[in-house]
A and B are shown apart, each in its own frame.
Chain A
Amino acid sequence: MSLRLIDVSREYVAGKPVLSGIDLAIEPGEFVTVVGASGSGKSTLLCLIAGLARPTTGQVLLDGQEVLGPGPDRGMAFQTASLYPWRSVARNVAFGLEAMGVPRDVRDERVRWLLDEVGLTAFAGTLPGKLSGGQQQRVSIARALACQPRVLLLDEPFGALDVQTKEDMQLFIRQIWQDVGTTVVMVTHDVEEAVFLGQRVLVLSSDPGRISQDIQVDLPEPRTLTVRRSAEFLALRARVEDLVRAEHRAHQALNGHAG
């Protein structure tokens, strides 16, 4: 899968672009994280790739084909797990496969594999309401992966989790990415998370959102918690934090807020 954004801009209010002049190429199997201050349009960027919104100008291409709407060749998970509360965990994961018309036995097999992969086999028959926040997010990611999407889009998926769960989930999503081999584009406001997970960190500027920095992360693989304490990691984190802080200050000043 290769994902290309060519001179993409998006306006919700005419003359006030949220994103502008976005040129981006993402190679198959890459793990890309996107950080930016509020107003940088980072969620909008994901929506454009997902096809939930259309670019005002420019094109989004997935393997050379223009993205014209949402579809199962892309998977997406949001900050709120947004599960179907009346469907069991297994049937939540199966939803996309049902829509694709996958035969029952193949479907069951794939759901079983995914539940095993996300460590929720024991909860196959449980309703989402009975799960913890982290477990719900695992279901949501398994559901997004069910149709074997070419790219997995993650919109601040761990933003609402407590610190310990978040750390578990970061290791978890890395593991999933390695096992499944799909491309991942993840938006987060947490710089530490972005640097820890991404092979590449995109820093967006605000007003309008543009890609201000595209940083290659050359940290050792696999990313363990030890990597997180290394001097290189800390230095890179500080660098990205400074970039995001500068964008945040500029955005506040423009909107008349005190720093």
Chain B
Amino acid sequence: MAPPVLPQAPARRVKLLKTEVSRRTAWILRAASILVPLAGWWALSVSGVVEDTFLPSPPAVWSAGMAMVESGDLPNDLLASLGRIGAGFGLAVLIAVPLGFAMGTLGWAQPLLEPVIGILRYLPASAFIPLLIIWLGIGEVSKIALLVLGVVFFNTLMTADAVRQVPARLLEVSAILGAGRARVAARVVFPYALPGILDAMRVNAAAAWNFVVVAELIAATSGLGYRITRAQRFLQTDRIFAILIVIGLIGLTIDITLRLLRSRVGRWAQ
């Protein structure tokens, strides 16, 4: 049978989907990513199209921020918020990592825990605020509980995923070398999964930082979220802007710290 004939394939130059730029271009683009929106904001606020009360100018925001620093409000609020994320996120990680580890390794833990966690993680943590206040009051405990609720389920499932990435072959090799389950867990599974566990923490730290501010918007007497609601009462949009910028910068710092930690721990994976 003769093969069906096709028209000759075109000598077209096909481009790859993924492209790269030089390091220099990358840095210029990074700078533009911050400076262009900043310039746009500045131009809009100076143009007078939008009232100052709605959109304060960058210098106004800067001086509002400095005023809050000098009065001591901003440092105090910052410490209060950081304390909450430290306690809440830390607790969530302490619960999530062992649970996820169990789900990723023990045959019975996966079918036992996955359905309930799968449902719980779709319940918006913010919707629990009224309930948490009824149960735990408006003090620190309810805020930390919100943080834990918002993060712990995702972090558990993501940890379990990281743990499941350990190749079965590596576990078999370890058993043949005489390593029992505890040794394999500590010396094989944990080191192999650690970079993935830290990745999961990095993603969830961002969520945790959001929940701190949300918790403080509702009922608090300190913290960055509380400072925003106070500023709103007096229509101090310049202060709100300043606090939002601080929130963004802290988030970025958390992200970079965890990223550095991850690349140190996961050096072998590169």
What per-residue 1/0 map shows which CB atoms of A122-165 lie under 8 Å from chain B?
00000101000000000000011011000000000000000000
Chain A residues with Cβ below 8 Å from B170 are 82, 84
Q: Which of A92-111 contact B (CB under 8 A)?
A: 95-96, 98-100
A85 touches B176 (CB 8 A): no
Chain B residues with Cβ below 8 Å from A96 are 177-179
Closest 3 CB pairs of A and B: A72-B178, A96-B177, A70-B175
Chain A residues with Cβ below 8 Å from B178 are 71-72, 96, 99-100, 147
A147 touches B268 (CB 8 A): no
Residue contacts A-B, CB under 8 angstroms, 17 given? A52-B175, A71-B178, A72-B177, A76-B176, A80-B169, A82-B169, A84-B188, A84-B192, A85-B268, A85-B269, A86-B191, A95-B187, A96-B177, A96-B179, A99-B178, A144-B176, A147-B177
Q: Which of B119-138 contact A (CB under 8 A)?
A: none
- The DSSP consensus for interface residues of chain A is loop
Chain A residues with Cβ below 8 Å from B187 are 95, 98
Chain A residues with Cβ below 8 Å from B180 are 99
Q: Which of B248-270 contact A (CB under 8 A)?
A: 268-270
Is B17 at the interface (CB under 8 A from chain A)?
no
Chain B residues with Cβ below 8 Å from A76 are 172-173, 176
Is A74 at the interface (CB under 8 A from chain B)?
yes
Is B174 at the interface (CB under 8 A from chain A)?
yes
Instruction: From known contacts A96-B178, A99-B177, A143-B177, infer whether A70 and B172 are also in contact, taking CB-CB under 8 Å.
Output: yes
Q: How far is the CA of A50 from the CA of B178 in the complex (A)?
A: 11
A75 touches B176 (CB 8 A): yes
The chain A residue sitting closest to B191, CB to CB, is A86
Our pick among B173, B174, B177, B268 for the contact of A129 (Cβ within 8 Å) is B268
- The DSSP consensus for interface residues of chain B is helix
Chain A residues with Cβ below 8 Å from B188 are 84
Q: How far is the CA of A95 from the CA of B176 in the complex (A)?
A: 11
Chain A residues with Cβ below 8 Å from B268 are 85-86, 127, 129
Chain A residues with Cβ below 8 Å from B270 are 129
Chain B residues with Cβ below 8 Å from A147 are 177-178
Is B7 at the interface (CB under 8 A from chain A)?
no
Q: How far is the CA of A86 from the CA of B179 in the complex (A)?
A: 17
Is A177 at the interface (CB under 8 A from chain B)?
no
What per-residue 1/0 map shows which CB atoms of B168-201 lie under 8 Å from chain A?
0110111111111001000110011000000000
Chain A residues with Cβ below 8 Å from B172 are 50, 52, 70, 76
B191 touches A95 (CB 8 A): no
B179 touches A78 (CB 8 A): no
Chain B residues with Cβ below 8 Å from A80 are 169
B179 touches A95 (CB 8 A): yes
What per-residue 1/0 map shows which CB atoms of A34-54 lie under 8 Å from chain B?
000000000000000011100
Q: How far is the CA of A143 from the CA of B188 in the complex (A)?
A: 15
Is B40 at the interface (CB under 8 A from chain A)?
no
B183 touches A71 (CB 8 A): no
Nearest CB of chain B from residue A17's CB, rounded to whole Å: 22
Chain B residues with Cβ below 8 Å from A129 are 268, 270
Chain A residues with Cβ below 8 Å from B174 are 95
Q: Which of B149-167 contact A (CB under 8 A)?
A: 167
The chain B residue sitting closest to A130, CB to CB, is B268
Q: How far is the CA of A154 from the CA of B193 in the complex (A)?
A: 27
Our pick among B167, B183, B192 for the contact of A99 (Cβ within 8 Å) is B183
Chain A residues with Cβ below 8 Å from B269 are 85
Q: How far is the CA of A86 from the CA of B265 in the complex (A)?
A: 9
The chain B residue sitting closest to A149, CB to CB, is B176
Question: Given A72-B176, A86-B192, list of 9 further CB < 8 A pairs?
Answer: A51-B176, A70-B172, A70-B176, A74-B176, A75-B176, A86-B268, A129-B270, A144-B176, A146-B177
A95 touches B177 (CB 8 A): yes
The chain A residue sitting closest to B188, CB to CB, is A84
Chain B residues with Cβ below 8 Å from A51 are 176
The chain B residue sitting closest to A143, CB to CB, is B177
Q: How far is the CA of A137 from the CA of B176 in the complex (A)?
A: 17
Q: How far is the CA of A7 from the CA of B188 in the complex (A)?
A: 36
